[in-house]
Structures are given as structure tokens and as C-alpha cells.
Amino acid sequence: MKRALSLFGCIRQRALGLTLALGIAGLPAAHGYTVGINAGTKSLFLQVGVGTMTGGNFNNGGTPGNNTTVNNASVTVPSAQLGSGAAQAMTTNSTVTASAWDGFAFCNTPATTGQVYVGGFYRVPGNSGAAATLSVSTPANLTNAGGNTLPFSSIAWTSSGNGDATPTIPSGAFSSGAQTLLSVTRNTWFESCLAFRYLNTQVVPAGTFTGRATFTLTAP
């Protein structure tokens, strides 16, 4: 994902790097949280993993800022488990647990749960107009140094958030190209915690497979 974006305009993007290290012996190498916000200058904010909010949380006057960090989600699959169908939980180097809205511990410790915080808002001057759209785009495959490929659809996520029974961003899996995740009503804040996993349904050559998912918030 691209890192926390604050920014004013019609499109905001964040990217998340996804890495799978696959080893084979003998081979070489919540209830979706949404809340209404005050109307104001047309603006978008999108945070995926680490972000920037200065002067406090957004609900008490904090100001979103640009952050170019690209966090990663990764997993190393043991040789004995490769292609077994036993999904492998991915970990992340993001350290974000607190909501940028109010500081609540919305996600659980990323080091143990792999949860990546995704949140933001869509604001317009009045109370009318179409909704914004949160989407994610990926290439067809993750690739390794040898040119081997692994379908991006091999990675799925579970969406949650502490205190929430139904996630705002639905749980799902990547598909090649762009896919819509959420419709964001005008003057609304949204957030979810996404825990990624590798589905591990096929045997593939050893190596480190990488790819990038780009999250985009687009306003009409």
C-alpha cells in the first residue's frame, strides 16, 4: 500500500508490499467502524499501515499529512507445509494499532497478528453528492528472481477491528487488476484492520515472490 495519505483532491493512493518466501527441501534456490465528520473543503485521506497525523487525533483537530512509507506483509512457508492447503498467516512491519480517528487501540499488535490498519475519510462542503470509492489494484502475479509466478489471488485477508462485529472493509482475497472494497459516504471516516494470509494451495519453486497492492481512494 502507499503510506498514509492525507491530501486534498480527487484521488489518493497508498501501497502495500507483499512478499512470500517459499522454501522447498532439496531445491535450490469488528464491526466496520464508520463515523460522520463535519462538512468542509473537499478532501480525501487514506492511511494504509503507518501514517502521519499531527496535533492529535483527527477527532480533536489533528491534521493528516503525507507519509511515503510502504509497509510489507510477508510469510515464509516451511518446506513441509508447501502446497498443503494449510493457510499461512502473514506478518507485517507496520506497528500501527491506534485509530487515527480517536487513538483507540483498534488493531491488535501487528508483530503477532499481522494486522494492517486501513483508514481514512471523504469530506465535501455540503450534504449532497455521490460517495467516494476505496479500491485495490494488483498485478496478476507475484514473481521471484527466476521469473516464476504465483497468482495474487493466493493471498486473502480477514477484516476486523476491536469492538466491532462486522468489518467496514469486507474480508476477501486479491484478484488481478482493480477491485472495489468499499463505498465511502460523503463526510464519513472509515477504518478496518486487515490480516493477510497465503492460501498455500499449490507447490511452487523455491524463492522469494514479491508484488505490490495499491490502495486508492477516489472521489467523484
Residue-wise pLDDT tens digits, 139-188: 999 999 999 999 999 999 999 999 887 889 999 999 988 999 999 999 99
DSSP 3-state assignment of 209? strand
The answer to whether residue 50 sits within a structural domain is: yes
Q: What is the pLDDT of residues 56-86, one digit of tens each?
A: 999 999 999 988 888 999 999 988 888 999 9
- Supply the range of the domain harboring residue 201: 11-218
Q: Which three cell numbers stand for residue 77?
A: 512457508
Q: Give the C-alpha separation, 2 to 215, whole Å.
A: 7
State residue 66 phi and psi, 5-degree precision.
-75, 145
**For the chain, how many structural domains are there in total?**
1
Is residue 204 assigned to a domain?
yes
* pTM score of the predicted model: 0.87
Is 45 a member of any domain? yes
Average pLDDT of the residues of the chain: 85
> How confident is the model at residue 94, as a pLDDT?
94
| Residue 3, in any domain of the structure | no
Domain for residue 6, yes or no? Answer: no
